[in-house]
Amino acid sequence: MIQTRREYNYCFIFEDGSKKNFKVVLDGRSRIIRETKKDLPSWTLLSHHQCPPCSLDNETHSHCPVAVNIAELVSTFIQSPSHKKCTVSCSSPERLVSKDTTVQKGLSSILGLLMATSGCPVMDFLRPLARFHLPFATVDESVFRSVAAYLLRQYFLKDEEQTADFELNNILGQYEVVKKVNKGMLERIRDISVRDADQNAIVTLNSLAQILEIEIETNLESLRHYFVEE
C-alpha cells in the first residue's frame, strides 16, 4: 500500500541552546511537497551554472528543481560554519534518530534527501532511497543501500521484460552524473554563501559518490565479508 504522505523533521540544537528546524514533506511517490514561492533567489534560475547533464530547458522550467528544493535550507544556514558543534535529530513516522555532530554533517544528511526528491530528471533514480531515508548513514551503509537499490531496480525491470543490469555495468555512469550535479549545486551556493557549512555538505555528498565508484571498481570488496564465509 502506497503511503500518501510522510514527513522528516530535522532539528539542529546548538551548544548555546538555540535551534533550527527544517521539515521535509513527501508524497506517496517520494516527491517533495512544498509551497510555491514567487520570490525565489536568482541563483536558483535554471541558466545559473546549469549542470552539464541537465535535460531541462528554459521554455518549460525557469528554475532548477534541485536548487529550488535546497534554497530554504541554504538561506537558513548561510551564516553557519562547517564544524560548529550541534546535536541533530531526524524524526520520521517510524523512528527518531539523533546524533552529536557538526553542522556540515547534519546538512549533508538532509541535502541528500532534498536533492533526491526534487524532481530533477538526472537525480530521480535516487528517489526510492528517500522513502527509506537513513539519517547520518556511514560509508558502508551508503554503499550497501545504493547498490541494493540499484539491483532491486534491475529486478523490477526484468520482471517487466526490460533490459536489466545485474552486473552493475551502468551504475558508475549514474553516479558520475550525480557528481556533476553536485558540482553544479556547489557552484551555485558559492555565489551566495557567507560561511562554508552548506558548501562542505555538498562536498561530503560528492565524496560518497566517489567512494561508491571506487567500491564498484574493486568489486565491492569492503562488503564481501558480510556475505562470504572465510
Domain ranges of the chain: 5-224
* Average pLDDT value over all residues in the chain: 91
pLDDT at 174 over 80: yes
Which residue stretches of the chain are H helix? Answer: 65-76, 103-116, 127-131, 139-159, 171-190, 197-217, 221-224
pLDDT at 100 over 60: yes
Residue 201: band (very low, low, confident or very high) from pLDDT cuts 50, 70, 90 = confident
Average pLDDT estimate for 143-165: 96
Instruction: Name the 3-class secondary structure at 44.
Output: helix
Residue 3: band (very low, low, confident or very high) from pLDDT cuts 50, 70, 90 = low
Give the Cβ contact number of residue 59 at 10 Å: 6
Looking at residue 230, what is its pLDDT?
64
Give the Cβ contact number of residue 2 at 10 Å: 8
* 199 or 95, higher pLDDT: 95
Looking at residue 5, what is its pLDDT?
86
pLDDT at 136 over 90: yes
pLDDT at 194 over 70: no
Instruction: Name the 3-class secondary structure at 127.
Output: helix
Average pLDDT estimate for 155-173: 95
* pTM metric for this prediction: 0.89
Residue 97: band (very low, low, confident or very high) from pLDDT cuts 50, 70, 90 = very high
pLDDT at 2 over 70: no
